[in-house]
Structure 1
Amino acid sequence: MLPLVYSPEVDAALKAGHAVVALESTIITHGMPWPQNVETARAVEAAVRDGGAVPATMAVMGGRIHIGLTDAELERLGQARDVAKLSRADLAACVATGGTGATTVAATMICARLAGISVFATGGIGGVHRGAETSFDISADLAELAQTAVTVVAAGAKAILDLPKTLEYLETAGVPVIAYGQDAFPAFWSRDSGLKAPLRMDSAEAIAAAHRMRALLGLPGGQLVANPIPAEAEIARELIGPVIETALAEAAAQGIAAKAVTPFLLGRIFELTEGRSLAANIALVLNNARLAAAIAKALAAG
C-alpha cells in the first residue's frame, strides 16, 4: 500500500475530478525563514484556489507522503528543523526511515504522479550547472521531466545555470519546452534569456491539449511550461547578469560545490540585490500558480 496521506481538501477534489495543482515544499523549508516561508506558501495556495483549482503541497512528514497539507501541517513544516531536501535519489529512503523531508521539483513530480495529479507549479527548475563539462553537476529535475508525465509550470530554469546546455539536455531527452505567450525562453528573474524557446503556446487550453496528446501517443515524460515573470516584477538580464557572475566567482573562490552551490548563490544574489531577487521570486511563483490552475482546469474539463 502506498504511504500516501491526502489532505481533506485534496482528497475531495480528486474524488470529484476537480482541478488540482501540485506544489513543492522546499520553498517552505529551504527557501526563506519563518514566518515568511509559511506566508508565501499560503499566498501560493491562495493563488491556485483563486484560479479555480485546489493546491496540493507535497512533503514527507513522519515517513508518509502528504498530498496536500492542512494549515496546521503547513505551519509545523515551516518551523521544522533539519528537514531533508528530497529528490528522486533519497525520497524512498526518507519515507522508509520515518523521516521528514521537503520535495524538490523531481520529488514533487514523483509524488504528483503517484496521486494522479498532472500539473505542478514551481519557481524555476534545476538544470545543467555552469562548468558541468568538468563537474558533471546536472539537476535530477531534467531526468525527471524526461520520464514522469507531469506538466511543470516554471519561470524557465534558474538563471544561475548554464541555460543553453539546459535546453540542449531537454531537447535530447525529448522534453517539450513551451514558452507561454512569447517566443523567448525566460530566465527566472528575467523575461528573456536571449534564447529562443523550442515551442510557444498562448493558452492554457493548448497546453492541456498537448499534455493529453502525449498520453494518447504513449510518449513518456512531462512538459516544461516556461512562464515569464510579470513585467513589473522582473529584473532585466543586463542588471541581474553581473550580480550572478559576482556570486559565481565568490562560490568558486570559496570552494563551494555540489548541493551547496544553489543555496549559496541564491543567498548572495539576495544580498547583492538588496532583497529584490526574493521579491521577484515570490511574484513569479504566484504567476506560475495562476497559470498552472488554468491548465489544471482545462485538463479537468476534458
Structure 2
Amino acid sequence: MRRYVSYSEEVKEAMKYGKPLVALESTIITYGMPYPENVKAAREVQQIVRDHGAVPATIAIMDGKIKIGLTDDELERFGDSKGVIKASRRDISYLIATKKPGATTVAASMFFADLARIRVFTTGAIGGVHRGVEQTMDISADLEEFARTSVAVVCSGAKSILDLGKTLEYLETKGVPVIGYQTDIFPAFYTRNSAHPVDYRVDEIDMMAEMLRVKWNLGLEGSAIIANPIPEEYAMDQEYMDGLVSDALKEAEEMGISGKNLTPHMLKRVQEMTGGKSLEANIALIKSNAELAAKLAVSFNGN
C-alpha cells in the first residue's frame, strides 16, 4: 500500500497524535470552480477545518500516488492543471498506473478516506439517480460507495439536476440513513428545500457523532448522509432554480452530454445563467459544510 499512498506532513502528524481529520474531495477544485477561485476557495475551506479544531485532508491522485492531504504548492499546481481526469472508483488503477492526474469524486474520495481511516468527509452535494434513469440507467457511483464505505458524508443534500425521490429511495434500500442537521427537509444543493423529508432530524452535533459510533460499533457498515442546508442568505429560490436546471438539462441532452461530463457541464451552465450567483452559493455551502464536518470530527474523535 505504501507504493500508492502518500500522506502530507500535516496529515501524518494528525494521525500520529490522534487528531480529528476531515477528508475533502478534489473534484470541486478542478470541476466545480474556475481558476484561481478554485484554489482560493480550497485554501479557505482547509483553514475553516483547522479553525474548528480538525485537520484537513484534501484527496487527489497526482504523480502516480494517492495524495491524502495536499501541500499549498500541490494545491496550486493541481488547481491550475489542464487535463485532470474526473476520477471515480473505476478510474483509480488506470490513473495510478499511468501517472495521470485525477480529481477524486465523492465515491473515490470516500474510498481513500476509509483507506486512511478518516471517518468524516465533506463535499458540496452528493450524486444520485439521474432524471430519466428508466432510459439511461444513469446512477452515480456515489450511491454504491455509500452502501459499503463507513464514512460520514456532510453535504448540502443532492444536486438539483437529480431525481431526488429516487435517490432517497436508493439510499433507503442500501440502509444509508439520511440525517438532517437542524432540518426536517432534504436540501437540494443551491436551495434549502425539496419535496422530500430526511429520515431523522438531529439538532446536536454530539448526537450525530453518537449515532455514527453506534452504527459502526454494531457492524452496520456504510455511510451516513449528514444533510446541511445551504446558509439562508445564499440560498436560491427553489422554483427559479428548478426552471434553470430543466432548461440546462434540455440543452445538455440536445448536445449529447451525459455521464460524468454532465455535472461539470451543468454547474458551468447554471453559473452562466445565474450571472455567477450559483458560484457564490456553491462556495458558501462548501464552507458551511466544512465547518460542520470539522465540528463533527472533533466530537466523534473525542469519545
Deviation at 1:144, TM superposition (A): 0.3
Aligned mates of 1:13, 1:203 — CA distance in 2: 25
Give the paired residue count. 302
Aligned mates of 1:287, 1:215 — CA distance in 2: 26
1:70-109, aligned counterparts within 5 Å? Answer: 70-109=71-110
What are structure 1's unaligned runs of at least 5 residues? none
Aligned mates of 1:249, 1:30 — CA distance in 2: 21
Q: Deviations over 1:49-96 (max 9, x none)?
A: 111111000011111111101101111111112111111111122112
Deviation at 1:256, TM superposition (A): 1.9
1:78-227, aligned counterparts within 5 Å? Answer: 78-227=79-228
* Partner residue in 1 for 2:248: 247
* Partner residue in 1 for 2:59: 58
1:253-272, aligned counterparts within 5 Å? Answer: 253-272=254-273
Q: Deviations over 1:163-200 (max 9, x none)?
A: 00000000001111111101011111011112111111
Deviation at 1:100, TM superposition (A): 1.5
Deviation at 1:239, TM superposition (A): 1.9
SS in 1 for 2:196: strand
Deviation at 1:98, TM superposition (A): 2.1
SS in 2 for 1:185: coil
Q: Deviations over 1:227-256 (max 9, x none)?
A: 000000100212211111111121122222
Aligned mates of 1:301, 1:254 — CA distance in 2: 50
Letter in 2 for 1:41: A
Give percent identity, aligned residues only: 54
* Partner residue in 2 for 1:5: 6
Letter in 2 for 1:106: A
SS in 1 for 2:179: strand
Q: Deviations over 1:117-157 (max 9, x none)?
A: 00001000111000011100000001100000000000000
SS in 2 for 1:175: coil
Aligned mates of 1:35, 1:247 — CA distance in 2: 25
Q: Deviations over 1:209-238 (max 9, x none)?
A: 111111111111111101000000100212
Letter in 2 for 1:48: V
Contact kept, 8 Å, 2:32 with 2:267, in 1: the verdict is no
What are structure 2's unaligned runs of at least 5 residues? none
* Partner residue in 1 for 2:288: 287
Letter in 1 for 2:236: I
Deviation at 1:207, TM superposition (A): 1.3
Aligned mates of 1:260, 1:59 — CA distance in 2: 19
Aligned mates of 1:236, 1:291 — CA distance in 2: 23
* Partner residue in 1 for 2:16: 15
Letter in 1 for 2:209: A
Query: What is the aligned-residue RMSD (CA, Å)?
Result: 1.0
Letter in 2 for 1:31: G
Letter in 2 for 1:280: A
Aligned mates of 1:215, 1:33 — CA distance in 2: 38
Aligned mates of 1:136, 1:127 — CA distance in 2: 11
Aligned mates of 1:166, 1:268 — CA distance in 2: 23
Letter in 2 for 1:83: V
Distance 1:92 1:203, change over 3 A: farther
Give the TM-score normalised by the residue count of structure 1.
0.98
Aligned mates of 1:281, 1:262 — CA distance in 2: 13
Letter in 2 for 1:49: R
Aligned mates of 2:9, 2:119 — CA distance in 1: 19
Letter in 2 for 1:144: E
Letter in 2 for 1:21: V
Aligned mates of 1:83, 1:249 — CA distance in 2: 27
SS in 1 for 2:154: strand
Letter in 1 for 2:98: T
Runs (4 or more) in structure 1 with deviation over 6 Å come to none
SS in 1 for 2:253: helix
Letter in 2 for 1:162: D
Aligned mates of 1:211, 1:66 — CA distance in 2: 26
